[in-house]
Amino acid sequence: MAAPLSTMKFWKPGAEAPGITEERELNTETTGSPIIFNPHTALSIEKQRQKLPVFKHRNNILYLVESFQTVIIVGETGCGKTTQLPQYLLEAGWATEGKVIGVTQPRRVAAISVANRVAEERGALVGHEVGYTIRFDDCSDPQATRIKFLTDGMLVREMMADPLLKKYSVLMLDEAHERTLYTDIAIGLLKKIQKKRRDLRVIVASATLDAKKFHDFFNLNESGDPNKDTCGILTVEGRTFPVDVFYTVSPVPDYVKATVETVLKIHETEEDGDVLAFLTGQEEVEKVVSLLQDQARSLSRIGMKKHLRILPMYSGLPYADQMKVFERTPPTVRKVVVATNIAETSITINGVVFVIDCAFVKLRAYNPSTAIESLVVTPISKASASQRAGRAGRNRPGKCFRLYTEEDFEKLPASTVPEMQRTNLAPVILQLKALGIDNVLRFSFLSPPPAQTMVQALELLLRSRSKHLQAKVSLHMMQNFNQLCVLAGLDHYGRLTDPMGVRMAEFPLSPMFAKMLLESGTFGCSKEIVTIAAMMQIQNTFVLPANQKKAAAREHRKFAVAEGDHLTMLNVTRRAPSGVQEHFLNYKGLLRAVTVREQLRRLMNKFKVPRTSSEGDPDVILKCIVLGFFSNAARIHHSGSYRTLRDDRELHIHPSSVLYGEKPPKWSGGFSMKCCRRQKYYMRDVTAVESSWFGRVGPHFYKQAKHGSLASKRSRVL
């Protein structure tokens, strides 16, 4: 069957106004003259470096870094900020006497890929002069590494051991426009450090940034004399290659379908060049990948010379598979990378010439009045749209096809709401407290979070036995479950408790996980809990190949237990690594869980958490999970769905849970994630619990349910 001819119609904004412009086909002329890429005549790395727009500004940049404590650098995507600036600083001597140049990235994959690129440009292997550090993976050498790429979360973590970040001479906050939670925290903390360390240089780099806002924030000059400013701004003009932007002629009803059609149209009508398509989540990515794979097979059957290689890219994908998108393809193959937002910033996928942008992104949202955190599909910002388009012009002129009209583009917000203003702040507060910021309400935030979110997070962390709090609790007990949600990380003065709060803050996981892990030794199940916590860090324990769904589901049922997903995960680890294929388990995910478990074990040893085992008793493990995750408890409603205890919010069991479609337990808890799809809230990683267990972690405020123990219905696979 031949591929259907696409019905997608695009136009390129130009001299003529929309509406009177003729619809143009995809291979409209580009503004720049077409350059045919020939790898044999490609420039040497050194020559490539010199051709980048930032190269002309090299001396200027170095002068600014010498003269100002903070420098804000705004330059089009692809101009060389991420890969070149750290090298200029290194060459200019900013990393002598054991000092390190640190560059933060909002995403792990970006940190790895840019570290690899910079190491390659310096003719070395990553992990020596150039290295990276991300959570659960350190590829740097404390003695040898001079340029270190790290996630912004890791930088905040490093401040715990080294509050003044003494080993760094320069810190570059890259892609600052993304305003991730940890970028914003790092920004606030660095400003504080700069007041004590006049020698520390901060560079804020981005393609699309409100430079003035950053300037006013970082400028420590209070004299009013602009000559004494401590912050400078530099704009780098020019980009490496032009990118032509096309819009659809009319709004697109289904962007998933439109993405598939646009890829096919590009393949039919455009010259060489790989394609990068942006969608919102794993499900959409997999759907497009599978539709395109079907089409690719039909195309090769009808004898099309150029083949399509379709590759997914999303954060839940094992690293090795994520890295596949960077592999070069032979000239007879056109690579199509179908990605979520993960590919939006920092990374260069070689060969990408065409970008398809669906206009949407899945973002974390937090509703402080209900305390529910969810992932919501939202229109992107203009800043994101320009980042996405920028992925096309990295190695040669590119084209970006926006699956929306130019009119709709104009309606997009200029920038994304900072994550700080749409997230649960409990982990942030704990870390700030651990860093000695006592009054978190007065912390210098670039964009302060809503007061209600802040107060709620403080409540979650307060110590239950405080008389002061108990008085407060009895007052509101019947109305507000939140106040009972106490992890005992803070005392009634709001100070970090020692040792619990201090240790919780040191864990590279949320306070709920930390609490569960730290208490597991005395509970008598630390061996099992550390495995469960590690398994919860991988997104999918099971794989469901499209053509073997039934067989896979049958295999997966063998691990399932009535208690729910956590004990099912534990069962899986008992079987692995043998039988991974036979049981359709996520092999790479399991390997990652093993590494994570090792790191968690090390921390638990450091805090002298006893190594204990439940010896086959599931209740001990489940109670320990409740100890950390009690604030997520829900009870069954007569409608068949669940209601949260704290605010009576309707929840459903996620289809990926082993409890989905089974006789539902009366109480559920422990779930670590709620995601919102089509206005519904789902529980993932669900465990059946008993209401009486909640008494262990806070005062009873509801009657104990009269149902008997679930134990009689349990399958004891353990």
Q: Is 386 in the site for ligand CDP (CB under 6 A)?
A: no
Which of 70, 82, 573, 668 touches ligand CDP by CB under 6 A?
A: 82
Beta strands in 286-371 (DSSP E): 307-313, 333-339, 352-357, 360-367
* Long-range contacts of 640-643, Cβ-Cβ distance < 8 Å, separation of 24 or more: 640/664, 642/668, 642/683
CB of 443 to ligand CDP, least distance (A): 29
CB of 83 to ligand CDP, least distance (A): 3
78 vs 501 by CB, closer to ligand CDP = 78
> Which stretch, 78-86, 313-321, 427-435, 621-629, contacts ligand CDP (CB under 6 A)?
78-86
Nearest partner of 41 among 412, 309, 396, 363, judged by Cα: 396
341 vs 421 by CB, closer to Mg ion = 341
CA distance linking residue 254 with residue 141, whole number of Å: 48
Nearest partner of 539 among 323, 156, 283, judged by Cα: 283
Name residue, tokens 């337990």.
665
CA distance linking residue 362 with residue 380, whole number of Å: 9
Distance linking the first and last C-alpha atoms of the chain: 51
If contact means CB under 5 to 8 A according to the sort of partner, which of ligand CDP, Mg ion, none does residue 395 touch? ligand CDP
CB of 80 to ligand CDP, least distance (A): 4
Q: Is 81 in the site for ligand CDP (CB under 6 A)?
A: yes
134 vs 264 by CB, closer to ligand CDP = 134
174 vs 690 by CB, closer to Mg ion = 174
Binders of ligand CDP among residues 36 to 55 (CB under 6 A) are: 52
CB of 150 to ligand CDP, least distance (A): 16
CB of 101 to Mg ion, least distance (A): 15
What are the CA-CA distances from residue 503 to residues 357, 432, 700 (Å)? 43, 13, 27
Q: Is 106 in the site for ligand CDP (CB under 6 A)?
A: no
344 vs 459 by CB, closer to Mg ion = 344
47 vs 706 by CB, closer to ligand CDP = 47
If contact means CB under 5 to 8 A according to the sort of partner, which of Mg ion, ligand CDP, none does residue 641 touch? none
Give DSSP secondary structure letters for 551-574.
HHHHHHHTT--TTBHHHHHHHHHH
CB of 205 to Mg ion, least distance (A): 7
Q: Is 348 in the site for Mg ion (CB under 5 A)?
A: no
Q: What DSSP element (H or E) covers 32?
A: none
Name residue, tokens 């995809």.
26
Partners of 651 in beta bridges: 642
3 vs 347 by CB, closer to ligand CDP = 347
Tokens of 400: 């970006």
132 vs 445 by CB, closer to Mg ion = 132
Kindly determine how many residues on this chain lie close enough to bind ligand CDP according to the rule CB under 6 A: 16
> Which stretch, 75-83, 478-486, 564-572, 647-655, contacts ligand CDP (CB under 6 A)?
75-83
Q: Is 78 in the site for ligand CDP (CB under 6 A)?
A: yes
Nearest partner of 149 among 109, 178, 198, 99, judged by Cα: 109
> Which stretch, 81-89, 532-540, 594-602, 626-634, contacts ligand CDP (CB under 6 A)?
81-89
CA distance linking residue 643 with residue 681, whole number of Å: 10
| Site mask for Mg ion (CB under 5 A), range 631-660, x = bound | ------------------------------
Q: Is 395 in the site for ligand CDP (CB under 6 A)?
A: yes
Q: Where are the alpha helices (DSSP H) in 352-439?
A: 382-390, 406-411, 426-434
Which residue's C-beta sits nearest to Mg ion? 82
CB of 343 to ligand CDP, least distance (A): 12
- Provide the b/e sequence for 454-479 (b: ≥16 CB within 10 Å): bebbbbbbbbbebeebeebbeeebee
CA distance linking residue 103 with residue 117, whole number of Å: 14
Q: Is 79 in the site for ligand CDP (CB under 6 A)?
A: yes
> Which stretch, 71-79, 86-94, 274-282, 434-442, contacts ligand CDP (CB under 6 A)?
71-79
CB of 709 to Mg ion, least distance (A): 56
CB of 105 to Mg ion, least distance (A): 8
Tokens of 408: 């709709």
172 vs 585 by CB, closer to Mg ion = 172
Which of 6, 240, 456, 632 touches ligand CDP by CB under 6 A?
A: 240
> Which stretch, 80-88, 391-399, 465-473, 483-491, contacts Mg ion (CB under 5 A)?
80-88
CA distance linking residue 564 with residue 622, whole number of Å: 10
> Which stretch, 74-82, 229-237, 323-331, 689-697, contacts Mg ion (CB under 5 A)?
74-82
Q: Is 83 in the site for ligand CDP (CB under 6 A)?
A: yes
> Which stretch, 72-80, 370-378, 449-457, 628-636, contacts ligand CDP (CB under 6 A)?
72-80
For the chain, helix, strand, coil in percent to 5 are 40, 20, 40
Which of 57, 117, 309, 566 touches ligand CDP by CB under 6 A?
A: 117
154 phi-psi bin (left φ>0, alpha ψ -120 to 50, beta other): alpha
- Residue 635 phi, psi (nearest 5): -125, 155
CB of 38 to ligand CDP, least distance (A): 15
CA distance linking residue 463 with residue 472, whole number of Å: 12
620, 612 in Cβ contact below 8 A? no
What are the CA-CA distances from residue 468 to residues 129, 373, 492 (Å)? 53, 29, 7
Q: Is 82 in the site for Mg ion (CB under 5 A)?
A: yes
322 vs 346 by CB, closer to Mg ion = 346
If contact means CB under 5 to 8 A according to the sort of partner, which of ligand CDP, Mg ion, none does residue 566 touch? none
Q: Is the dihedral of CA 94, 95, 99, 104 positive or negative?
A: positive
* Long-range contacts of 221-229, Cβ-Cβ distance < 8 Å, separation of 24 or more: 229/68
Beta strands in 484-641 (DSSP E): 634-636
Q: Is 107 in the site for ligand CDP (CB under 6 A)?
A: no
CB of 88 to ligand CDP, least distance (A): 11
If contact means CB under 5 to 8 A according to the sort of partner, which of Mg ion, ligand CDP, none does residue 240 touch? ligand CDP
82 vs 87 by CB, closer to Mg ion = 82
Task: Name the amino acid, one letter, at 233.
Answer: I
Q: Where are the alpha helices (DSSP H) in 270-350?
A: 282-301, 319-323
294, 264 in Cβ contact below 8 A? no
Which of 394, 422, 433, 601 touches ligand CDP by CB under 6 A?
A: 394
If contact means CB under 5 to 8 A according to the sort of partner, which of ligand CDP, Mg ion, none does residue 669 touch? none
Q: Is 586 in the site for Mg ion (CB under 5 A)?
A: no
Binders of ligand CDP among residues 317 to 356 (CB under 6 A) are: 348, 350
CB of 40 to ligand CDP, least distance (A): 16
682, 535 in Cβ contact below 8 A? no
Q: Interface residues with ligand CDP (CB under 6 A)?
A: 52, 75, 77-84, 117, 240, 348, 350, 394-395
Q: Interface residues with Mg ion (CB under 5 A)?
A: 81-82, 346
